[in-house]
Chain A
Amino acid sequence: MPTPPPLPSDGAPAPMPAPQPAPALSAAPSAAPAAPAAPAAGGRPIVELRGVSLVYPTADRPVTALSDVALTIAKGDFVSLIGPSGCGKTTLLRVIADLERPTAGHIAVEGMTPEQARLKRLYGYVFQAPALYPWRTVERNVMLPLEIMGLPAAERRTRAREQLERVGLSGFERKFPWQLSGGMQQRVSIARALALQPDLLLMDEPFGALDEITRDHLNLHLTQLWRATGKTCVFVTHSIAEAVFLSTRIVVMSPRPGRILDVIDCDLPRERTLDIRETPAFAAIAHRVRQGLKEGHSYDD
């Protein structure tokens, strides 16, 4: 797998990536014209769900978190899951990651059962909370999965440094998680997932705790990373703009029971800058997503 060239990082111990809007950032992509390993959309399916349902057995009455979900994610896709709180986005991600077993339906990851895929460490997972281990420094937190994989120490260190730089946290290696702000902790957890260099990235609201500027910045990083490496991403978000900016396809979900309302193709060019958010095409897709979300809500009333 080709390692991506280091992306523009805002450099050393600034607590937040320096908010440098349009000019500097929009210059970066044009320097790397053709995206190398990005396959055409509609490649080989990497995640397939058919008729997947999941019922949590709780004390009073069972909760149907997913009901008859069907979804196919192709290699190189960037799929966003969007929907109101409690509609089963996290649950869907956990089913793909084999952290939850569906009560009905079929699911395959890279043609295997989710358990086999998990045991082969085929995916990286960014949780909704940072989930850092407080007794480990930032760097050793990022090295944790590599330790478990049994990589040699030198390789662990270079990979951790590389990923921390990518999320703009070089200079914080020796800090402990509780010495960092919430947003910085979440960036560490992203670096930790990236350090595994997985082909499939599952991200549960990774930027939910960040401010608008940092969020834009990391969105840009993420879309460049995705384009440069051809990773497949499944991304949970509450932000329509974020979903449209990042995705090739947007899955709109609705609650009670959690199901898929609509899958919207997001056929903007693969190469994206923040300016794209001002275009009419972007606005049109965002409008469709908003309509879809409204439909889900009217069901509630």
Chain B
Amino acid sequence: MSDAYGTSLRTAADWGLVLLAAIALAALALPLGARDGAPVGWFAEPLAPLFLAGVVLAVVGGRTAPSPRKGAWVELAAVALAWLLPMHLMDRGIDLSAGWGLWLFLVAATLLLWRVLGVLAALPGWTRSVLVPGLFGLGLLAGWEVLVRGFGVPAILLPAPSRIAAALAANAPVLWDDFRQTVLTSVVRGYLMGCGAGFAVAILADRVPFLARGLLPLGNLASAIPVVGVAPIMVMWFGFDWPSKAAVIVVMTFFPMLINTLAGLGSAERIQLDLMRCYAAGYGRTLVKLRLPNALPFLFNGLKINSTLALIGAIVAEFFGTPVVGMGFRISTEVARMNLDIVWATIAVAALTGSGFYGGLALLERLTTGWHPSMRGR
């Protein structure tokens, strides 16, 4: 039964390979690029035929591998080799913008990557959960790099990833100071205060119903307040250093946490509450043994939303006044000085921090709420 399935899959895959080969053959007839205005063919460059031979060998090797899974790994090497060719040509000073043969070749390589990812995504475990997204991201970065450099996009509009990485490395001490100021000081403190206060007030509002009734409409109001409005006011109130940033974050994170906690506390089922009542468990016991564990998925929801909000809040707030350090400050000053590389490097740091923060929380959620239907069997 599984055999029949496997055979049909491989047969279908062969047609895909024929298409790939056709595209690659067409690519061979077109130039690789141009040097000093004159087109450069596949065999005018000493190493280009070697790359080509390597790719063909790897694809053939992949097709004859004992299992589709091993074949996928070998074909992955072919993809990598194909994407290294434009890098090599650019190093040799060839202008790729007119190299239609090369672009067509890269289209074929991308289709091959598609097929490989399709095979790998069907494998269970870390291949599917880590490797496939990783390869996908790497493919995007490679495409970005080659397109930006190949077509000579001005760095002021969009620098290539390698340039951003270089700027990151060159400005590491400055960026580290910014990171420490914005993330380790403002965000962490503001986040803890905002989420902590939201949680504490939710517990209080749960006991004192009029508080919940009064606060929830305010929550809707607060979520509509723009950061750019709050930030200058907080800077006036709390000064240039981290307290004003933390205050902005508290304003942004308090209500999402409050609302999520209240929803979580209200999510216990009647029969579960009746059980606690049977055991003559008081308010505190019921809270600890039933309502809080039951609210965990909601709490994590609030924490995850707030992780993004806090980072945005701190960076935007720094536009309105800060000591001469911080990610928001860096972006605003370096944009003015047209140092876009550093701006992009800062954006990269912010993006990595944000996804790390979110990912950490998601992992913690998985560890603590594995029992929840939305998490089971993942």
Contacts and interface: CB of A to CB of B under 8 A. Distances in A.
A118 B371 contact: no
Which one of A98, A121, A123, A135 has the greatest number of beta carbons of chain B within 10 Å? A135
B271 A131 contact: yes
A131 B275 contact: yes
A17 B281 CA distance: 33
Nearest to A144: B289
Contacts of B278: 97, 99, 118, 123-125, 145
Contacts of B271: 127, 129, 131
A162 B339 CA distance: 73
Point out which of B275, B276, B371 has the most chain A C-beta atoms below 10 A from its C-beta. B275
A178 B274 contact: no
A283 interface: no
Interface string A164-192: 00000000000010100000000000000
Interface string B268-302: 01011011111111000100011001101000000
Interface string B294-312: 1010000000000000000
Nearest to B286: A148
Contacts of B285: 148
Contact of A131 (B272, B281, B293, B296): B272
B376 interface: yes
A149 B282 CA distance: 11
A99 B279 contact: no
Contact of B279 (A129, A135, A145): A145
A149 B279 contact: yes
Interface string A205-222: 000000000000000000
B264 to A, nearest CB: 13
Interface in A220-245: none
B289 A99 contact: no
A81 to B, nearest CB: 18
B185 interface: no
From A97, A123, A134, A145, residue with most partner B Cβ within 10 Å: A134
A121 B294 CA distance: 24
A127 B293 contact: no
Interface string A112-143: 00000011110111010101011100000000
B277 A118 contact: yes
B369 interface: yes
A267 interface: no
Contact of B280 (A118, A129, A147, A176): A118
A163 to B, nearest CB: 15
A16 to B, nearest CB: 23
A127 to B, nearest CB: 6
A127 B272 CA distance: 10
A176 B372 CA distance: 11
Nearest to A99: B274
Given A99-B274, A119-B280, A125-B278, A133 B372 contact: no
Nearest to A117: B280
User: Which label, helix, strand, loop or mixed, suits the secondary structure of the B interface?
Assistant: helix
A135 B277 contact: no
Interface string B39-63: 0000000000000000000000000
A124 B275 CA distance: 10
Contacts of B290: 133
Given A127-B274, A144-B289, A134 B281 contact: no
Contacts of A125: 274-275, 278
Given A148-B285, A178-B371, A178-B376, A133 B272 contact: yes
A114 B56 CA distance: 84
Given A118-B280, A119-B280, A134-B371, A147 B289 contact: yes
Interface in B342-378: 369, 371-373, 376
B289 A148 contact: yes
B288 to A, nearest CB: 10
A35 B296 CA distance: 49
Given A134-B372, A135-B369, A135-B371, A121 B279 contact: yes
Interface string B71-109: 000000000000000000000000000000000000000
Contacts of B280: 118-121, 148
Contacts of A178: 371, 373, 376
B293 A133 contact: yes
Contacts of A196: 279
A129 B275 CA distance: 11
B279 to A, nearest CB: 5
Contacts of A148: 276, 279-281, 285, 289
B166 to A, nearest CB: 49
A282 B376 CA distance: 48
Contacts of B369: 135
Contacts of B277: 98-99, 118
Nearest to B368: A135
Contacts of B372: 134-135
B345 to A, nearest CB: 43
A211 B371 CA distance: 27
A106 B272 CA distance: 27
Contacts of B279: 121, 144-145, 148-149, 196
B371 A127 contact: no
B376 A127 contact: no
Contacts of B276: 148
Given A135-B369, A148-B281, A127 B289 contact: no
Given A135-B372, A196-B279, 12 more contacts: A97-B278, A98-B277, A127-B275, A131-B271, A131-B272, A131-B274, A135-B294, A135-B369, A145-B278, A147-B289, A148-B281, A178-B376
Interface of B: 269, 271-272, 274-281, 285, 289-290, 293-294, 296, 369, 371-373, 376
26 contacts: A97-B278, A99-B274, A118-B277, A118-B280, A120-B280, A121-B279, A123-B278, A124-B278, A125-B274, A125-B275, A131-B272, A131-B275, A133-B290, A133-B293, A133-B294, A134-B371, A135-B296, A135-B372, A144-B289, A148-B276, A148-B280, A148-B281, A148-B289, A176-B371, A178-B371, A178-B373
Q: Which 8 pairs of residues, A with B, have the shortest CB-CB distance? A: A135-B371, A131-B271, A134-B371, A148-B279, A119-B280, A125-B278, A145-B279, A135-B293
